[in-house]
Amino acid sequence: MSLSWPTEPVRPSLVLFAAILLSFACGFALYRRHFTGLASIPGPYWASFTRLWQVYHIFIGDHNLCSISLHEKHGYFVRIAPEEVSVSHPDGPRIILQALLRKGDWYRIFAVPDFRFKTPQSTLDAKAKIKRSKLFLSGFSLSNLLKSEQYYDANIGQLLNWMDAHAAEHRPMHLDKFFSYTAFDNAGEAVFSQSFGFIAKGEDIDGSIENSRYLNRYLGIAGYFYWLHVLLVANPIMTWLGIMPIGHVFRTSKTALQKRRADPDARFDIIAHWLRTQKQAPDQLSDREIESQATLSVAAGSDTLSCALQSFVYHMIKHPASWRRARAEIREAQAKGHCTDRVISYHDSQELVYVQACLSEAMRMFGPSPFGLARVAPPGGLRIGDQYFPKGTVLSINPQVMQRSKDCWGPDAHEWNPDRWLIGHAGAKYKFFLVYGMGYNRCPGEHLAQLQLSKIAATLVRDYNICQVDPTNEWVCKTFLNCVPHSWPVYIEKQQDTEQR
């Protein structure tokens, strides 16, 4: 008997099928690369074939830096995905963001906790988004927010206590963490009259803030794989199971909302406005939609604020002349009887022109919004400068790219220069200032953000000297949906102590 190796041939039909599939995939990739209306737009080679190039850079947390350097290399237009072009043309904000263009599909990710519950941010059609936003807008008005100023002050006071304690013990302080605690707690105060207790404890309870950062990376990517996201995460079964990775924040929000509904005498906070709107138009606003928008607002208003505060302190201590000049401005105000409260009042902070210029410059140098604001070219396409974009092209503007554009800000765009906000027509500069977005999708929480930023920035400059433990150290920052720098510990010195010496 002879042993022989089975020699059954591979079925020709299988080989043929694989070959056809491969040729189809290659043909499709080549078509995307060379034969669509975007073929002539420069950009990374792989980005013209597949979205995975961008997803990879979101995953490793450097997509903002990539966008900045790609625009420096290629100019106004960079193809960052087969159907998406990143734009830094000075006319971009006006043509793309101020028009009523549909938002990119990526925004559907903001339907929380699952696809059934639309929020203004997840609504793609411009008119439908505006209509939905109107239901929520009154809660975000400055006059409403100012009614809770004393409660923000209480949280900011706790931040100052921690700073005093670190100063007294001459202990390095990680301001990034304490800014995040304050920002989360103030978002809770503003939305449903309750803070999460982070700043009082001086810790990230249950690791919720850390977990929310993982969620951040996930959301940035999952927006491009929406149906998979719905299948695995954002579906009614998962909602029913209540599996949310931001534990303490979500639980506290939920309990606060329940308490809030049962208490007719509670403060007239943001939720109170929404509940009033719901009473007037019950068919337009469900309980779940209120819950979704509340969760989204806390999430949208905390890491962003922490990043902006960090950017302010970090740039100001790297430029001590600015810190001194800002303090001199505050001393002058004090001499006239202003800026005397422990936490400087919002009203007084608005008179500090130079401090405000430094805040704008800090957010210009490093803004908390690193993601491209994506809109879709309408039927008939869109022209920006000399470039025509066919219907359906996703056109995105990355605020961090725009904020560093020499065409918009001049040759010193990469340098710290708060005076740019004080000379010439400062208002004109805001047409390129996209930190809060622009147009119909502009951030509704801007007043709450500016209110806290102004008060905290002015108070810190007045009362503390801050320096890095290692002045040569640069902060570390991975960028996903948001960017929150860390790892730049500082020493704090209380200003009165220095003055008494």
Which CB, 290 or 305, lies closer to ligand HEM?
Answer: 305
Separation between Cα atoms, residue 368 and residue 452, nearest integer Å: 15
What end-to-end distance do the CA atoms of the chain give, in Å? 104
- Shortest Cβ 257–ligand HEM spacing (Å): 15
Shortest distance (Å) from residue 291 CB to ligand HEM: 13
**Shortest Å, Cβ 309 to ligand HEM:** 8
Question: Cβ of residue 377: shortest distance to ligand HEM, in angstroms?
Answer: 16
Dump the DSSP string for 242-309.
Answer: T--TTHHHHHHHHHHHHHHHH-TTS---HHHHHHHHHHH-TTT--HHHHHHHHHHHHHHTTHHHHHHH
Residue 188 CB, shortest distance to ligand HEM, in Å, is: 9
| 436, 464, 480, 488: residue in contact with ligand HEM (rule CB under 6 A) | 436
Q: Toward ligand HEM, which CB reaches closer, 87 or 190?
A: 190
Q: Return the closest-CA partner of residue 317 out of 305, 326, 330.
A: 326
Give the interface segment with ligand HEM, choosing from 46-54, 216-224, 354-362, 440-448 (CB under 6 A).
440-448
Contact flag: residue 482 with ligand HEM (CB under 6 A): no
Contact between 277 and 135 (Cβ < 8 Å)? yes
CB 78 within 8 A of CB 38: no
Chosen residue from 437, 478, 491, 493 binding ligand HEM by CB under 6 A: 437
Chain-centroid distance, C-alpha 240: 28
- Give the shortest CB-373-to-ligand HEM separation in angstroms: 4
The reply to whether 400 sits near ligand HEM by the rule CB under 6 A is no
d(C-alpha 436, C-alpha 441), whole Å: 9
Q: Does the footprint of ligand HEM cover residue 448 (CB under 6 A)?
A: yes
Interface residue with ligand HEM, options 373, 401, 461, 483 (CB under 6 A): 373
Q: Answer yes or no whether residue 187 interacts with ligand HEM by CB under 6 A.
A: yes
Q: Report in angstroms the alpha-carbon separations of 297 from 121, 228, 305, 357, 402.
A: 10, 25, 12, 26, 25
- In the complex, the smallest distance separating the C-beta of residue 262 from ligand HEM, rounded to whole angstroms, is 23
Inter-CA distances, 171 with 166, 174, 501, Å: 5, 10, 20
* Packed helices 287-300 and 270-280: angle between N→C axes, nearest 10 degrees: 150
Q: Closer to ligand HEM at the Cβ: 300 or 492?
A: 300
The span of 23-31, 61-69, 162-170, 431-439 binding ligand HEM (CB under 6 A) equals 431-439
121 binds ligand HEM (CB under 6 A): yes
Decide if residue 195 touches ligand HEM (CB under 6 A).
no
Beta partners for 483?
A: 479
Would you give the binding string for ligand HEM spanning residues 293-332, x where CB under 6 A is met?
Answer: ---xx--xx--xx--x------------------------
Pairs from 185-188 (Cβ < 8 Å, separation ≥ 24):
185/155, 186/152, 186/155, 186/156, 186/301, 186/305, 186/448, 186/452, 187/297, 187/298, 187/301, 187/302, 187/305, 187/448, 188/252, 188/253, 188/256, 188/298
Torsion angles phi and psi, residue 423, rounded to 5: -110, 155
Per rule CB under 6 A, is residue 92 in the interface with ligand HEM? no
Is the distance from CB of 267 to CB of 147 less than 8 angstroms? Answer: yes
Q: Is 467 annotated as a binding residue?
A: no
Per CB under 6 A, 111 contacts ligand HEM: no
Name the residue with tokens 């850390």: 210
Tell me the closest approach of the beta carbon of residue 270 to ligand HEM, in angstroms: 8
Nearest residue by C-beta to ligand HEM? 445
Could you say whether residue 272 binds ligand HEM (CB under 6 A)?
Answer: no
Closer by beta carbon to ligand HEM, 167 or else 191: 191
3-state secondary structure of 414: coil
Annotated binding site: 443
What residues line the site for ligand HEM (CB under 6 A)? 120-121, 133, 187, 190, 296-297, 300-301, 304-305, 308, 368-369, 373, 435-437, 441, 443-445, 448-449
Can you say which residues are annotated as belonging to the binding site for heme?
Answer: 443
